[in-house]
Chains A and B, each alone.
Chain A
Amino acid sequence: MLETWIGFGQGPLFRLCLALMLLGLTRIFLLTIIGMIEALRRNEDKIIPWKDLIGKTISWLFPLKRLFNKRPVYSLISLIFHIGLIIVPLFLAAHLLLWKNVTGFAVSAIPKLFADNLTLTVIICSILLFLMRLFYQPARAISRKQDYLWPILLIIPFLTGYICSNGSISPNAYLLLMLIHVYSANLIMVMIPFTKIAHCVLMPFSQLVTAIGWKFPKGAGGRVIETLGLKNRPTWVEKPRLVYEDLTPEKEEVSV
């Protein structure tokens, strides 16, 4: 029975979750691209400091140089955690068959010993990141539910995967853990586009989005107060916003 469910999780459900993840990520990727194009079209000033933006982006994509300026321990843990998160699911020998089934091609697997050590490292890093969030007051102050949930959720497939591949456990326990492994991994894939993990696709655009955001459309300020029905009452006139009642008839409908 468990085997059937595992088979379903590794087969059709895996393909569905993968498709949802890819579609979701493609959606936000395209929305960002379209948003940037629209913004640039709206702006008279289309000057983009490409060199500076690309430099900044690369320095964060490969943050070996700058990450350790501040909070070096946290930074090191976070960096190793991210490396493990990317390498193990993609290049573990046991996963390659799954990828081959879906994509039709396979790359070389990483050595088992390396994969095992990396898996253990990710688990330890997850625990440390979770504890840091819990006990470092500034991090706790800004954390949402998903910020606590993610490190825990990520431990599940890594831990179950590690036990299944290394532990001497009964066949039933193996099947149960494998079931948890497969379904938690599928759940993670589906959640990625809808949570902060979307940064795996969007993060390289941040500098560009910000640079475009700082380019304001010409005349927008005037159009804003026109929409608000305050065309003749810009913020710099005397008592511009003291009485509103007599202004409402001019007001245009804006969606709130």
Chain B
Amino acid sequence: MNLLINKEERERAFKTPKKENVIEKQQLSVRYHVEDFALENRPQRFLEAFAAILKHTNYRLVLDHYVRISAKCSRCTSNCQIYLATGDEQDIPCFRSELLLKVYRRHFTISGMLRGRVFGDPGLQNEQIQEMAESFYNCTACKRCSIECPMGIDHAIITHLGRYILSELGITPRALVVSTREQLIGKSGNTSAIPVPALLDTLEFLTEDMEEEKGINIPFPIDQDGAEYLFLPAVSDFLMEAETLMGNAAVFKATGDSWTIGTGYFDGINYGLFYSDHILEEVLHKIEAETKRLNIKTILIGECGHASRSAKYFYPTYCGGKEALPVVNILEYSWKAWKEGRLKIKPNVIKEKVTYHDPCNFARSGWIVDQPRELLKAFCQDYVEMTPSGRDNICCGGGGGTVSIDEIRPYRTTIGGRAKAEQIRATGAKYCVAPCANCKKQLKELMEDNNVDCEIVGLHDLLYQAIIFENVEDEKEIHHSLT
């Protein structure tokens, strides 16, 4: 499949939405909006932030290793969907990582410093910072390049570190910064700025809706002390993915397990995973505080890739190591309940052709690959796979937080997601199941901009239609007789 964009598409994708005077004022020519930041001594401040991060973290181990072994074999080009779409050398994963590795070698290794002195290399310049600011946000951090690297280099960790250093200078897409600010110090305490009364109204409305449809009461338990599960979906689901939430609640109704949504904190989103270890930690501490307040036993993340990965892999990092509370994803939960026979599903409920998109944050590590497929096959008559899929899946094109940057939508749907759009088109599926808030948003835009006739849904949206409420038949009868 030739993914290379043509001239017209290139112009559309790279058109900057920013005004000239803003670019000039900020001395930063990137396509995403950035809040104003100090301009003076930018290279010096970059190096100071880099040095401080190296001092307090383990990145030096990784950088030293990568600097020593990088063989520049260019195998990563065969798997990077951004490079395959643009064909630009600056989009080669190894090229992107080298931007930061070069700075590391020059300023933080003895041989680099000596060479700099001998050859009169002036060191880090403003232009290099600009290049990094552009490059690190062109990458979707999908890690497909790392699958093909014989040396085992993970370019995503370099992108992550590069973004972290830039964030300490104030260079981060405004969309991410504003959401995080609201989450950490805003009144609502979540990235979508949903006040608790609005949340409760929404949930009440959904319960009524389900009651009308199914004839039974399917509640969203609120602030249940001692519940087994604290449910944390991507908070945007409360605004945009009602059907996913209804499916989530319906599963619990069927299994009878205790779960709750906490009014103290109910947001699974953690943009720290995309650009700052500091934010990653602070957000996880908010989850920790809520689990303590409600005496929770297990953290349950909704249909969201990055929320799941940030909690699964970093909750132990910041909240107790081996002693930390377990983290499960709702897909794992539903699959396990179905396997144990506690969740009954009607077969062949969905007649139309269905395919499944693997969110990179679940699938690349092999964490959640087979479970959703087994579930889908249990109630979908016509299930088809995309090629490639599973651990080798193609990214939706909005990974690494880029989906939240609305001003780069033409880039995301022309370059980032091009491979995915063609992959979905080739299946001819009516529904594409994408169990991730970010993937869903990106894929919906992708289908629209690339004229692909496929509806993007969550797994629980469809599962909701297939659940058999066996243990609540009596309740249903009582409920009917009362109403």
Contact = CB atoms under 8 A, between A and B. Distances in A.
A142 B48 contact: no
A75 B153 CA distance: 17
Interface string B32-60: 00011110110011011111110111111
A241 B38 contact: yes
Given A198-B69, A199-B69, A35 B60 contact: yes
A141 B72 CA distance: 10
Interface in B86-104: 89, 92, 94-95, 98
Interface in A174-203: 196, 198-199, 202-203
A136 B70 contact: no
B318 A198 contact: no
B64 A31 contact: yes
A218 B38 contact: no
Interface in A225-255: 225, 227-228, 230, 234-244, 251, 254-255
B153 to A, nearest CB: 7
A228 B276 CA distance: 15
B69 A39 contact: no
A216 B56 CA distance: 9
A241 B314 CA distance: 27
B58 A216 contact: yes
B131 to A, nearest CB: 14
Interface string B277-315: 111111000000000000000000000000000000110
Contact of B38 (A60, A215, A244): A244
A242 B69 contact: no
Contacts of B154: 210, 213-214
Contacts of B348: none
Interface stretch (A1-9, A43-51, A110-118, A163-171): A43-51
Contact of B279 (A39, A144, A236): A236
Contacts of B78: 70-71
Q: Determine the interface band of chain B, counting residues with CB < 8 A from chain A.
A: 35 or more
Q: What secondary structure prevails in chain B residues at the interface with A?
A: helix
A10 interface: no
Contact of A223 (B56, B151, B170, B320): B56
Contacts of B53: 220, 224
Contact of A142 (B92, B151, B321): B92
B279 A221 contact: yes
Interface stretch (B133-141, B178-186, B257-265, B431-439): B178-186
Contacts, number: 228
A236 B181 contact: yes
B157 A213 contact: yes
B347 interface: no
Contacts of B27: none
B317 interface: yes
Contact of A216 (B44, B55, B314): B314
A235 B170 CA distance: 7
Contacts of A256: 44, 47-48, 50-51, 107
A69 B148 CA distance: 9
Contact of A213 (B55, B59, B69): B59
B317 A254 contact: no
B74 interface: yes
B316 interface: yes
A32 interface: yes
A230 B37 CA distance: 14
A222 interface: yes
A84 to B, nearest CB: 17
Nearest to A39: B58
B79 A70 contact: yes
Given A52-B366, A206-B151, A142 B95 contact: yes
A28 B64 CA distance: 10
A209 B37 CA distance: 34
A104 interface: no
A224 B61 contact: no
A235 B168 contact: yes
B56 A220 contact: yes
Contacts of A215: 58, 317
Contact of B69 (A38, A57, A203, A241): A203
A225 B278 contact: yes
Given A137-B89, A203-B151, A224-B168, A235 B68 contact: no
A60 B146 CA distance: 12
Given A216-B57, A222-B278, A235-B168, A203 B152 contact: yes
Given A57-B152, A212-B58, A43 B317 contact: yes
B77 interface: yes
Contacts of A45: 314, 316-318, 321-322, 324
Nearest to A219: B281
Contact of B36 (A71, A198, A203, A242): A242
Contact of B316 (A47, A202, A206): A47
A36 interface: yes
A199 B57 contact: no
A42 interface: yes
Nearest to B272: A221
A212 B313 contact: no
Given A45-B316, A207-B152, A254 B69 contact: no
Interface in A116-166: 136-139, 141-144, 147
Given A60-B150, A199-B68, A235-B168, A217 B184 contact: no
Given A45-B316, A213-B157, A206 B69 contact: yes
B75 interface: yes
A223 B98 CA distance: 27
Contacts of A143: 72
Contacts of B74: 136, 138-139, 142
Interface of A: 28, 31-32, 35-36, 38-39, 42-47, 49, 52, 56-57, 60, 63, 67, 69-71, 74-75, 78, 136-139, 141-144, 147, 196, 198-199, 202-203, 205-207, 209-210, 212-225, 227-228, 230, 234-244, 251, 254-256
12 contacts: A28-B68, A38-B58, A42-B58, A49-B365, A57-B152, A196-B68, A210-B146, A230-B168, A235-B170, A236-B177, A236-B185, A239-B35
